[in-house]
Amino acid sequence: MHLSSKHLLGIRDLHREDITLILDTARQFKDVLQRPIKKVPSLRDVTIVNLFYENSTRTRISFELAEKRLSADTINFSASGSSVSKGETLLDTVNNILSMKVDMVVMRHSATGAPHFLAQHIPAAIVNAGDGINEHPTQALLDALSISERLGGLEGKKVAIIGDIMHSRVALSNIYLLKKMGAEVTLAGPPTLIPKYIRESFGVNVTYNIREALEWCDVANVLRIQLERQNQVLFSSLREYNHAYGISKKLLDSLDKEILIMHPGPINRGVELDSDVADSGQSIILDQVENGVAVRMAVLYLLSGRKESTS
């Protein structure tokens, strides 16, 4: 019942067995979360700091909730309002926090590689909650659990990842995970938002035609257009993007099958996804959010090295 790694820095570093173990453990914690008392003592006496250098709603809240459900003690740190504004370095900040006897660090940072850097310098276990445009491993794990619940597994399933692949850590973590677990992956979107050599590097399909991707897939994971990470014009306007690459009800209804729609959030409604799709019966977006708590409980529990039962 151990992961092969001390940290969760990315899906790239995990073995297929690690992913299976995390998903199986998350399923056990999902059962706990259905009970009237949704709490287990598994991480009693473990202290976890949630270190957020970048904004978050879903990831931050679900890590906090996961920690509380596991009976851990938690500290929440936001870069805004901290001594980071006075010039304190990441390493100084973390070492100061760790000197107060913190066992695990959950970190989101806008710099790619920030959690990998920390892992080389501190003894605590680190969970990457999203680093720049690199990876968002717990998002890929909760996406995998959500797909698996609806489609009965991942092996052989056809997943289209649609939109801003270039700037998406969700896309990269999903590609690593889905390929390791035997799913087929097609990336779809404008040529300017899909990295040139990704097809050869990752063994994925690429299309610039959204209809073709939707006709092929069992599930479409639609990504947010990340305007804050784009420093050049990569498409003409949001209206044009919606017209050419947005997912509308009309487009979905014109397919000869019903596919699942996912989105990591936050959604740009009316850009990559129309509201009547986001809120439709085909959408499993809120399942994804719900599964985030159990998946994060599983990751924290497994990394803690604790042996107490999950029930």
Site string for ligand CP, 209-228 (x = CB under 6 A): --------------------
User: Does 96 participate in binding ligand CP (rule CB under 6 A)?
Assistant: no
Nearer to ligand CP, 221 or 310 (CB): 221
Where does this chain touch ligand CP (CB under 6 A) — which range of 58-66, 89-97, 145-153, 245-253? 58-66
Which of helix, strand or coil describes residue 187? Answer: strand
Q: How far is the CB of 136 from ligand CP (least distance, A)?
A: 6
Nearer to ligand CP, 18 or 131 (CB): 131
Dist. CA 250–CA 218, nearest whole Å: 18
User: Does 57 participate in binding ligand CP (rule CB under 6 A)?
Assistant: yes
Which of helix, strand or coil describes residue 283? Answer: strand
Helix axis angle, 137-151 to 58-69, nearest 10°:
80
What Å distances lie between residue 157 and 173, 202, 259, 289, CA to CA? 17, 17, 12, 21
Q: How far is the CB of 212 from ligand CP (least distance, A)?
A: 26
Q: How far is the CB of 169 from ligand CP (least distance, A)?
A: 8
DSSP string, 35-98: SSS----TTTT-EEEEEESS--SHHHHHHHHHHHHTT-EEEEEESTTSGGGGT--HHHHHHHHH
Q: How far is the CB of 267 from ligand CP (least distance, A)?
A: 10
| E strands present in the chain | 47-52, 73-78, 104-109, 125-131, 158-162, 184-188, 205-207, 219-222, 260-262
Site string for ligand CP, 134-163 (x = CB under 6 A): --x--x------------------------
User: Given candidates 59, 134, 242, 283, which one binds ligand CP under the rule CB under 6 A?
Assistant: 59
Q: Do residues 93 and 114 lie in contact, with contact meaning Cβ atoms separated by under 8 Å?
A: no
User: Does 58 participate in binding ligand CP (rule CB under 6 A)?
Assistant: yes
Residues contacting ligand CP: total by CB under 6 A: 11
User: Does 265 participate in binding ligand CP (rule CB under 6 A)?
Assistant: yes
Nearer to ligand CP, 128 or 310 (CB): 128
Where does this chain touch ligand CP (CB under 6 A) — which range of 55-63, 81-89, 119-127, 215-223? 55-63
Residue in this structure with the two tokens 């850097």, named with its chain if needed: 117
Backbone phi, psi, residue 78, to 5°: -115, 140
User: Does 78 participate in binding ligand CP (rule CB under 6 A)?
Assistant: no
CB atoms within 10 A of CB 8: 27
What one-character DSSP code corresponds to residue 258? P
User: Does 76 participate in binding ligand CP (rule CB under 6 A)?
Assistant: no
Nearer to ligand CP, 72 or 262 (CB): 262
Amino acid at 118: L
Where does this chain touch ligand CP (CB under 6 A) — which range of 17-25, 39-47, 185-193, 263-271? 263-271
User: Does 229 participate in binding ligand CP (rule CB under 6 A)?
Assistant: no
User: Given candidates 137, 163, 246, 264, which one binds ligand CP under the rule CB under 6 A?
Assistant: 264
The residues, ordered by sequence, that sit 6+ positions from 115 with a Cβ below 8 Å of its Cβ are: 7, 9, 107, 109, 126, 127, 128, 131
Nearer to ligand CP, 29 or 63 (CB): 63
Q: How far is the CB of 105 from ligand CP (least distance, A)?
A: 17
What Å distances lie between residue 72 and 24, 40, 105, 250, 311, CA to CA? 21, 10, 12, 47, 15
* Binding residues for ligand CP (CB under 6 A): 56-60, 130, 136, 139, 264-266
